[in-house]
Amino acid sequence: MKLLTHNMLTSHVRGVRPGGGFPLRIQATEVKVNNVDFNQEFVARMIPKVEWGALLEAAESLGHLSDLPHQLPPEYENNEDFLRKVHHVLLEVEVMEGILKCPDSGREFPITKGIPNMLLSEEEET
C-alpha cells in the first residue's frame, strides 16, 4: 500500500462520526522502499488532490518524514527539491505488512503483502 493510496482511504464502520474515519493510523511491521521514476509535473499536480496533513502524519509514522514542511511552500510547482521529497513519500514508500486503525472506532484493518483488507462484517456495515 503506497501512501498516496492511504491518503484516500477512510474507515467506513457504522457509527463513525463524519470525517472521523480519516486518516487511518498506520502501524507498520514491514515497509518497502522502491524506485519510481520521478515525474515532476505529476507530483506537482497531485499535491492539491491530497490531504497534506494526513500525508505528513503517515510519512512520520513510517519514519519517512525527512524534512517535509508542515505548510506547503509557496510556488512549490517549481521547487524540484521539495517535489522529489513528496514524490518519495507518495509513491516510493510501501507498507507491506501492518495494520490500519480507525481513529474513531479503533477498528483495525490488516495489511498483508501490501494489500489492505477493508472488508467489514455485516454488523459493522452502515
Q: Among residues 84, 83, 112, which one has the least CA distance to residue 99?
A: 112
CA gap 32, 17 in Å, rounded: 33
Stretch that binds another protein, among 39-47, 60-68, 69-77, 80-88 (CB under 8 A): 39-47
CA gap 106, 101 in Å, rounded: 6
Q: Among residues 35, 42, 29, which one has the least CA distance to residue 114?
A: 29
The separation between CA 16 and the C-alpha centre of its own chain, rounded to angstroms, equals 20
| Least Å from the CB of residue 51 to another protein | 8
Q: Is 88 in the site for another protein (CB under 8 A)?
A: no
| Least Å from the CB of residue 3 to another protein | 10
Q: Is 66 in the site for another protein (CB under 8 A)?
A: no
| Least Å from the CB of residue 120 to another protein | 6
Number of other CB atoms surrounding residue 59 within 10 Å = 22
Amino acid identity of 19?
Answer: G
Q: Is 70 in the site for another protein (CB under 8 A)?
A: no
Binding test (CB under 8 A) with another protein, winner from 25, 68, 108, 114: 114
Residue numbers at the binding site for another protein (CB under 8 A): 1-2, 4-5, 8-12, 14, 16, 18-19, 21-22, 32, 34-37, 39, 41-42, 45-46, 49, 51, 91-92, 94, 109, 113-120, 125-126
